[in-house]
């Protein structure tokens, strides 16, 4: 009878792959088993709408870690299978192939899934979502230069996809139901900038527009909108957000809200179960509230925290959120979280494709959207983390020595 302990990780994701390697580094000596519902080993998702879709990268260039990394850490993988249930009393999981696996420690890295658009015609061929490698490959195969693509949703995934399809020679239209693109996540200044950017590349953006039905015989041919507009379409891509995969946790009796609820150590309400990544609703001491983040940096850092917790080496998670988006030759880097801002201060000129939008609350910087401004991005992270006071005038002044100011914070 073996006495070796087993750590099971549900989800071959960014969080899952990082946790698998980190738990070994934290001193776990037993078995590590990572289970994924896709057949591909863990891969980077951000390039799906960008470098992979537009042909700059191939699928075999997306691995988060090379196979040798898992081999060195002695991580086992079961891919292409789904976990049906968790029995916390017996400390077992049941797979869709009826296998039952026992665990000593369990990590939920189940991520999120696309939000489906429930309208007539959504089942037609030529209608796509973009979340997985197979999704991106299916879109790639359907791309035809000169054909018409309609993207439902003007968030980051929709705009990144629009940029890629435009680069591939398609005629692209973006439908956004709100009155500006990126309205949920950015200020007006960013929305205006990205609208102009896309229009300069031939992409048509229609706001206050909602897709009501898709028409076609076999393959989608038209999109009917709420404003009496009918758009021809050879392809429709739906990007209206994601839903955290919390069902396993909820049925198992774990506390669930806007994600699997965890504490600052990534612990769930079961001491032998942790969770990390897009599926979690977690506290952030630096921000002062709980939130759920759809972010690769968050997934990786929270996974390190979860691994430390599994091994009895608790390290509170309080990383500053950051994100990025690549569209055409423009790199957006976002530091912080802009919830609750009362004004925006712009540094630089958007017409030069290099500027920063600072999100302010009182005399503090909450977040910064940095367009082609990597140095300011790094400085913004330090200013936000330090909760430093800086005037609007200094932030807006491109002659102000921002680097010197940041260096003074640690002096």
Check residue 2 and give its pLDDT: 52
In terms of Cβ atoms closer than 10 Å to its own Cβ (0-12, 13-18, 19+), residue 349 is exposed
Same-domain status, 247 and 99? yes
Which domain does 190 fall in, by range?
127-240
Looking at the domain assignment, is residue 318 inside a domain? no
Q: What is the mean pLDDT of residues 344-369?
A: 96
Same-domain status, 158 and 235? yes
Under 8 Å between Cβ of 383 and 390: yes
Looking at the domain assignment, is residue 316 inside a domain? no
Instruction: Examine the fold and report which residue of 189, 207, 240 is the final residue of a domain before the chain moves on.
Output: 240
Looking at the domain assignment, is residue 315 inside a domain? no
Check residue 367 and give its pLDDT: 97
Same-domain status, 233 and 379? no
Q: What are 177-197's pLDDT values in tens digits?
A: 999 999 999 999 999 999 999
User: The CATH number of the domain where 146 resides is what?
Assistant: 3.50.50.60
Looking at the domain assignment, is residue 73 inside a domain? yes
Check residue 269 and give its pLDDT: 96
The structure's pTM equals 0.94
Q: What is the mean pLDDT of residues 335-342?
A: 95
Same-domain status, 248 and 350? no
Integer Cα distance of 233 and 222 in angstroms: 5
Return the residue matching tokens 């690549």: 326
Give me the sheet containing 92-95, strands edge to edge: 83-87, 92-95, 100-102
Under 8 Å between Cβ of 276 and 188: no
User: The CATH number of the domain where 389 resides is what?
Assistant: 3.30.390.30
Q: How many structural domains is the chain composed of?
A: 3
Under 8 Å between Cβ of 212 and 122: no
Looking at the domain assignment, is residue 16 inside a domain? yes
Q: What is the mean pLDDT of residues 366-386?
A: 96
Same-domain status, 347 and 301? no
The DSSP secondary-structure symbol of 320 reads P
Instruction: Examine the fold and report which residue of 191, 213, 240 is the final residue of a domain before the chain moves on.
Output: 240
Whole-angstrom CA distances from 350 to 197, 286, 378 are 10, 30, 19
Integer Cα distance of 25 and 7 in angstroms: 13
Range name among 164-173, 314-323, 365-374 with the lowest pLDDT average: 314-323
Q: What is the DSSP string of 380-395?
A: HHHHHHHT-B--HHHH
Check residue 183 and give its pLDDT: 95
Looking at the domain assignment, is residue 181 inside a domain? yes
| Cα Rg of the chain (Å, integer) | 23
Check residue 411 and give its pLDDT: 59
Same-domain status, 131 and 206? yes
Same-domain status, 226 and 272? no
Integer Cα distance of 235 and 243 in angstroms: 24
pLDDT at 3 over 80: no
Q: What is the DSSP string of 43-105?
A: B-SGGGGTTTTTTSS-GGG-BSS-HHHHHHHTEEEEES--EEEEETTTTEEEETTS-EEE-SE
Same-domain status, 88 and 26? yes
Q: What is the mean pLDDT of residues 2-13?
A: 90
Looking at the domain assignment, is residue 119 inside a domain? no
Same-domain status, 234 and 247? no
Instruction: Examine the fold and report which residue of 310, 338, 359 is the final residue of a domain before the chain moves on.
Output: 310
Same-domain status, 236 and 248? no
Same-domain status, 58 and 163? no
Range name among 30-44, 170-184, 322-336, 395-409 with the lowest pLDDT average: 395-409
pLDDT at 1 over 50: no
Looking at the domain assignment, is residue 268 inside a domain? yes
Check residue 318 and give its pLDDT: 86
Same-domain status, 46 and 77? yes
pLDDT at 287 over 60: yes
Token readout for 71 is 């081999």
Q: What is the mean pLDDT of residues 276-283?
A: 97
């Amino acid at each position: 009878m073996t006495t070796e302990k087993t750590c099971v990780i549900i989800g071959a994701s960014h969080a899952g792959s990082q946790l698998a390697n980190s738990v070994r580094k934290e001193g776990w000596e037993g078995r590590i088993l990572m289970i994924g519902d896709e057949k591909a080993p863990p891969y980077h998702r951000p390039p799906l709408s960008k470098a992979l879709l537009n042909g700059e990268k191939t699928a075999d260039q997306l691995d988060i870690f090379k196979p040798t990394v898992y081999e060195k850490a002695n991580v086992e993988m079961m891919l292409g299978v789904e976990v049906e249930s968790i029995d916390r009393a017996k400390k077992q999981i049941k797979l869709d192939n009826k296998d039952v696996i026992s665990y000593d420690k369990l990590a939920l890295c189940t991520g999120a899934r696309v939000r489906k658009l429930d309208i007539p015609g959504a089942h037609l061929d030529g209608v796509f979502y973009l979340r997985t490698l197979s999704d991106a490959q299916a879109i790639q195969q359907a791309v035809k230069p000169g054909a018409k693509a309609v993207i439902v949703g003007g968030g980051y995934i929709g705009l990144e996809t629009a940029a890629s399809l435009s680069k591939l020679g398609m005629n692209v239209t973006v439908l956004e139901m709100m009155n500006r693109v990126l309205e949920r996540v950015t200020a007006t200044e960013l929305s205006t900038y990205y609208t102009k950017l896309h229009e300069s590349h031939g992409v048509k953006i229609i706001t206050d527009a909602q897709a009501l039905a898709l028409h076609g015989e076999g393959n989608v041919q038209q999109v009917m909108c709420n404003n009496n507009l009918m758009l021809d379409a050879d392809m429709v891509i739906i990007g209206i957000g994601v839903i955290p995969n919390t069902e396993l946790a909820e049925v198992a009796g774990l506390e669930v809200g806007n994600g699997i609820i965890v504490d600052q150590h990534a612990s769930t309400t079961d001491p032998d179960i942790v969770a990390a990544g897009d599926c979690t609703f977690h506290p952030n001491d630096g921000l002062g509230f709980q939130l759920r983040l759809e972010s690769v940096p968050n997934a990786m850092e929270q996974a390190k925290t979860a691994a430390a917790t599994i091994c009895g080496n608790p390290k509170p998670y309080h990383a500053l959120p950051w994100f990025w988006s690549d569209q055409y030759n423009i790199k957006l880097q976002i530091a912080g979280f802009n919830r609750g801002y009362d004004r925006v201060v712009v540094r630089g000129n958007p017409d030069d494709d290099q500027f920063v939008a600072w999100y302010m609350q009182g005399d503090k910087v909450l977040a910064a959207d940095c367009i082609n401004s990597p140095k300011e991005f790094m400085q913004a992270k330090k200013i936000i983390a330090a909760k430093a006071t800086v005037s609007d005038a200094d932030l807006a002044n491109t002659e102000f020595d921002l680097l010197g100011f940041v260096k003074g914070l640690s002096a």
